[in-house]
Structure 1
Amino acid sequence: MIQAFGLTSNPRKELPPAVDDVSFEARAGCVTTLLGPPGAGKTTVLRLMLELQQGRGITYFRGRPLHRIAHPSREVGVLLGDVPGHPARTVRGQLRMLCAAAGVPARRADEVLEVVGLVSLRDERLGTLSRGMDRRLGLACALLADPHTLVLDSLTEGLSARESHWLHGMLRAHATQGGTVLFTTTDPKEAARTADRIITLEQGRLVADQAAADFARTRLRPRVAVRSPHATRLAALLTKEARTAHRSVEVVRESGNRLAVYGSTCADVGETAFRHGILVHQLADEVGDMASGGDSTHRGEEKAPEDAAVRQGAAMPPELSAEHGPGASTEASTEASTEVTPATRLPESDVPPGRSATAAGVSEPSDGPGPAASAPTRPRAAHPRSSDAALASGNPPPLPPPISVRSAPSPLRPLRYELRRAGGVGTGFLTGAAVLVSSALVAVLMARIGHTPQHRLLAAWPRELPLPPAALGAGLLGAIAFGDEFRHPALAVDRGTVPRRLGLLVAKLLVAAGTGLLLAFLTVGCNAEVLYLVYGQELAKVPADWLALTASWIGLVIGCSWAGVLAAGIFRSTTAGLAAVVAVPVLVVPLVQKVLDGASVRSAAGFSVRLRELLLAQWPFGGERYLAAGARMMAQPVGGALALSLTALLCAYLLTTLRSRVR
């Protein structure tokens, strides 16, 4: 259950708040809709509920505010806007990455793919998906951690009637299992056709909170339903008489021989048909223009409560109706659910194209790809079936089976998540290939020019460049590690705020270090091979002090990758991360050189010996040599500047993390 109390957004300058004192409930086992025109404040209400926007009020999800829930994705499945994924990532790769973030097994991705009918598209890139497939993927992401509550914004906007009906069927199936569903829409017909309760917003204020039957009876346009074999002639006569009498009458030709007449009465339409000798098969008042094909859920004021009971009984099991149904008892729900029999089926001639002749409000698409809303129960332990198999058998596929998720901050498995994030797109591989090719070309050109030390030749680092290609590539990959999170925030429902968890930072630093280390060794190896092939053995030999040079080289590449990670995490941009890496040799190194060249600077010679005397212990395995090499590397301008920059970036990242938690 969702309970929202006094949701009010902060006003901007002289403008009134976008949402002002909105309170409502969304019950478990029911589908609730936030209805309103564009700009009514529906999305702002959802953002206030999910604590994504500053404002007043509080929202309880089964009795707890969201910030008190240890694992929010286990409680609330959210879809705001498009699926926030990298366009080059595959559908299955996106879900497997989110599985690591949610702490669920990777096979869960295949389960939800079967449920939403995307098994055949699991290897497709996100950037190639249509609008309908993107909505299905968004629903799959929301269902991944088996949440109790679904909060969806404009789920069916821009979709065809078939896709919209399928998605509504999925929402109804989730509510049937006792879950809570809240979605927004701008279409009153869609709201009345699919929801159990409709909350209407206008200009940021709540103007109505009604059951679907009451909403259809009081807020939708009444009409006269006419069925005649001479529907075209009757429509022309009604239009002509209305024009002659200067009355506002609208005649809509629907499927088959059916007409919908707005602004008239049964008596007027019947008299016109009688005067002109037109045979009429049906003439009835209807309330609720809720389907394009003439399918109306509520037929007349006296019929609406009965149809609503049938729909609710079909959507909810009897044991849930007494507790969660809006004003329904156990006996009434049981009786209503038993009414969904062949006796209640509509005549085939009364059913619009694309729907089967089931009871009003629970109609199924005759050729839809997925589950419909009429399944009363679902064995939670059943294994999901594909949509195609479900169509062949005539039964809707079930929802994903329940899973166990331990409570922990997101992401639950940061290292696994980061590995899948980095390996799911080809950016890293393309960057590595570009680094190797450019390094080999630079090394060949430097060897041709001559007068270059051997260690700079192997690293492809001319004095004219601030950093070698390998260090720049490692810094770029490190910057992408966090920049990609802000550009395609798969971990953030508001498309901007990435969780600042230390576990996530450590995972990114580890993966960046491993990538930088691999890049450093591959670069030196490729450069040596190219120099050997072009110029022979002389330019490919190993330097005498290779150990110290290797340590310095590895420290430089890994340090640049870490600087890219931290800077991109602070400034929320890949470009800013790469700029911070380039700023180390361009700006920080001259400052460090100026400090080290001062007259007051003393030599650090004998540092390891004095440290051994202080500790009164012998360094094992020649540790003095390694410690001295590290001290010399730190004393170099580039090493000192890089260490200073990393320290400053780490402190800034921790400071921004603490500030975000205080807020």
Structure 2
Amino acid sequence: MIQAIGLTSLSRRNTPPAVADLTFEVREGEVTGLLGPAGAGKSTALRLLLGVQQGRGATLVDGRPLHELARPTDEIGAVLGDVPGHPRRSARGHLRMLCSAYGLPLSRADEVLELVGLDAVADERLDTQSLAMDRRLGFAVALLSRPRALILDDPAHELPPREAAWVHQLVRGHAAEGGAVLLAGRDAGALARTADRVLALDGGRLVADEAAAQFARSRMRPYVAVRSPYAQRLAALLSDDGAEVVSASGSRIAVYGTTSAAVGETAYRHGILLHELADTSADRLDRTRAEAEPPQPAVPQSALPRQRGERRRPRRVGRRPGPVRPIRYEVRRAFGVRTPWPTVFGALLCSALAGVLIARAGVAHTSVLRVLSGWAPELPLPAGAIGSGLLGALSYGQEFRYPALAPGHGPEPRSSRLLGAKLVVGAASALLLTAAATAVDVGVLRLLTARGRVPDPWAHPAALAGSAALAVGCCWAGVLAAAVFRTTALGVSAVLAVPLLAVPAVRALLGGPQLKELGDAGGALWSVVCGVSQGGGGGVAKALRFAGQPLFLGLVLLLVVLVAAFAASALRGRRQGRRSTAVPTGGSAPLPGDEG
């Protein structure tokens, strides 16, 4: 099903590549074990296989390059480590958000939670979960789209024996139903008991490709398995006799360099009770795996991989798309945690304080736009606009800090579909925040000043439109800047750069007379179109005059620059992705200028 051809990582500073010319195959109905000690290149090989890490080589799924599959998650599910979800999001909320990204019904989230045994703690936050619960959630994410293949990077590492046994049972159940599994690990015994075929790595190169039983007979050292309530005391006695003892758990030890008869005699002489004493061999390995495989599949039918006749034929596309339902995904991502609400409440509080400052300065001496938007002279921008910019920056800042959209085998976080969804949801949030801030400002001013001095918002549509446009523009600037720089802080910095850098730049370029002419151009254009005098035209003409002001021109200039930067970074990422996943080579040296 999956073919890896010539996978080679890019070397750094004349050092050998971590993985060199790695070629293998993962077949349906089998568990393929990728064995090697720490630093052997297992994780790098899996990341190269999925296209997560740049390198050379090709990954084919049923003869098609991985990067050309329209729905990679229908073919491959991966567990590459801890689940990179927002720590304050619940397990159910995280999976439902991914259901929207993958185009799945929300009920699928509850199905996989039950499958992995997390249904009882589905509403607990991710930062409260143990390591075993996090690994189970990782399996839930990998199985969400019912993939035909699983790519697992040592999922049983550091787990207690019971959880490790659950992992291996789930892996065997997936393969028994026709799925393909690539399981990386460093425990040779456990991997040989679970896998049908073992690939051994040493220094990033393939040194063995054998059936599990043959691998155990030819490459695994025999040892004596011992289980006793006094295992540690027996281990000390055997070590004094020159045997090598490895503790598997509190009551289990593995003894190398001796026989079961010698271990039994030592235990008898010292009165130590034994619950298990057995020599391991290839025959025992075969019996253990046969006993461990359940006669019935250990997973419900709704979670099984698609059979060959049931799966959809992958469409050939140039790039993996973004979320299937981007608007729904973005709404669940943005409002599935409490992060936006402190921003909203903080913006409204600052807007109320700005209203107090405006009342002290005098409403009659302040423009209608500043009064309705709560834009005190002491602030570079209205509080609602700054809050909208922060909400926009969070949309992509959290996307890269907590990458729920897994690169290489899932929707791309830089896709145009996702960007459009973030801009739409951000604009709607900015408009709602602006409306709430306007209501707060007007209420504060009416409490502190005479009612007749406070302008009626509905009588000034141009000012309302200018305030709304400013908030939406700041929000979009935050979204685009965070997408380009991949951080929330720089996204907010781009919003604050509008009054601090962009406006002075516009004034320096155009000068005073040209700005006045540009500001009057909107009113003149409206008078020509509608056949009214330039002094009339209502709110639209005034809104067009607002658009000619330095602040709006600077904001538009910043948005144009950020759109160009986003397009350039997306095109650069696309070229690097194609180069790293669609170039079959035989372990040649990297091209000059390539980055790791």
TM-score (normalised: structure 1): 0.77
Match of 2:331 in 1: 419
C-alpha displacement at 1:526, in angstroms?
A: 1.4
**Farther-moved stretch of structure 1 (472-481 vs 499-508):** 499-508
Name the residue aligned to 2:580. Answer: none
Structure 2 CA distance for aligned equivalents of residues 54 and 467 of structure 1 = 42
Q: Which residue pairs with 1:314 in the alignment?
A: none
Q: Percent identity?
A: 49
Report 1:211-610 matches (<5 A): 211-224=211-224, 242=241, 248-250=242-244, 261-265=255-259, 285-287=279-281, 298=282, 303=283, 308=286, 360-362=288-290, 373-377=293-297, 382=301, 399=304, 409-450=321-362, 452-453=365-366, 455=368, 456-493=370-407, 498-542=412-456, 546-598=460-512, 603=517, 605=520
1:261-281 residue CA offsets vs partner (Å, 9 max, x unmatched):
431246766888999999999
Could you say which residue in structure 2 is the equivalent of 1:73? 73
Hey, what does 1:10 align to over in structure 2?
10
Contact preservation (8 Å) 1:570, 1:656: yes
Q: Which residue does the alignment assign to 2:185?
A: 185
Q: Using the alignment, how far apart are the partners of 1:188 and 1:272 within structure 2?
A: 28
Deviation at 1:609, TM superposition (A): 6.0
Q: Return 5+ residue gaps in structure 2 as ranges.
A: 577-596
Is the 2:222–2:256 Cα contact (8 Å) retained in structure 1?
Answer: yes
For residues 235 and 83 of structure 2, the distance between their equivalents in structure 1, rounded to whole angstroms, comes to 45
1:398-449, Cα deviation, whole Å (9 max, x unpaired): 6589997796723111111101111101111111011111211221233134
CA distance in structure 2 between the aligned counterparts of 1:157 and 1:579, rounded to whole angstroms: 41
Q: Conserved in 2, the CA contact under 8 Å of 1:529 and 1:540?
A: no
- Give 1:595 deviation, angstroms: 3.2
Residues 1:47 and 1:606: Cα distance change in structure 2 (over 3 Å): closer
State the shift of 1:256 in Å.
12
CA distance in 2: counterparts of 1:611 and 1:136, whole angstroms: 62
8 Å contact kept, 1:454–1:543: no
1:656 to 563, 569, 574: 569
Residues 107, 361 of structure 1: alpha-carbon distance in 2 compared, 3 angstrom cutoff: same
Q: What is the DSSP-based 3-state SS (H/G/I as helix, E as strand, rest coil) of the residue aligned with 1:471?
A: helix
The number of equivalent residue pairs is 564
Q: Using a 3 Å threshold, how does the CA distance of structure 1 residues 565 and 495 change in structure 2: closer, same or farther?
A: farther
Paired AA for residue 52 in structure 2: L
2:589 corresponds in structure 1 to none
Structure 1 runs not aligned, ≥5 long: 243-247, 288-297, 311-359, 365-372, 384-397
Deviations 1:597-641 (A, max 9, x none): 35566735476666786x8x879xx99545523431221111111
Alpha-carbon distance in structure 1 between the residues aligned to 2:239 and 2:396: 63
> Does structure 2 retain, via aligned residues, the 8 Å contact 1:112–1:140?
yes
Aligned-partner Cα distance in 2 for 1:173–1:213: 19
SS at match of 1:210: strand
Q: Within 5 A, what are the aligned runs for 1:126-141?
A: 126-141=126-141
Identify which range, 444-453 or 141-150, moves more after superposition.
444-453
Match of 1:202? 202
Q: 1:463 to 1:122 in 2, by over 3 A?
A: same
Kindly state the Cα deviation for residue 32 of structure 1 after the two structures are TM-superposed. Answer: 1.4
Alignment of 1:39-78 (within 5 A): 39-78=39-78
**1:645 to 2:558 alignment:** yes
How far apart, CA to CA, are the structure 2 residues paired with 1:435 and 1:168? 51
Cα–Cα, structure 1 residues 25 and 539, in superposed 2: closer, same or farther, change >3 Å?
same
Q: Which has the higher contact order (CA 8 A, sep 6+)?
A: 2
For the 8 Å contact 1:488–1:495, the answer to whether it is kept is: no
Give the deviation of 1:5 after TM superposition.
Answer: 1.9
Corresponding letter in the other structure for 1:59: T
CA distance in 2, matches of 1:602, 1:618: 22
For 2:439 and 2:218, the matched residues in 1 are separated by 77
Distance 2:155 2:77 in 1: 13
Q: Distance in 2 between matches of 1:422 and 1:76?
A: 27
Which amino acid counterpart does residue 91 of structure 2 have in structure 1?
V
Cα distance in structure 2, aligned partners of 1:253 and 1:41: 26
Aligned equivalents of 2:272, 2:346: Cα separation in 1:
78
After TM superposition, the structure 1 stretch with the greater mean CA deviation from structure 2, 529-538 or 414-423, is: 529-538
Q: Is the 8 A contact 2:372 2:438 kept in 1?
A: yes
Map of 1:395 onto structure 2: none
Alignment partners' CA distance in 2, 1:88 and 1:229: 42
Distance 1:496 1:230, change over 3 A: closer
Structure 1 residue 157: Cα displacement: 1.8
CA distance, structure 1, for counterparts of residue 84 and residue 340 of structure 2: 20
Which has the higher Rg, Structure 1 or Structure 2?
A: 1
C-alpha separation between the residues in 2 aligned to 1:603 and 1:282? 94
2:102 alignment partner AA: A
Match of 1:631 in 2: 544
CA distance in 2, matches of 1:134, 1:278: 39
State the Cα RMSD in Å: 3.7
Q: Alignment partner of 2:289: what SS?
A: coil
8 A contact 1:77–1:143 mirrored in 2? yes
Q: Which one-letter code corresponds to 1:112 in the other structure?
A: V
CA distance in 2, matches of 1:63, 1:588: 52
| Aligned residues of 2:148 and 2:305 also touching (Cα < 8 A) | no
TM-score (norm 2): 0.85
Matched AA of 1:5: I
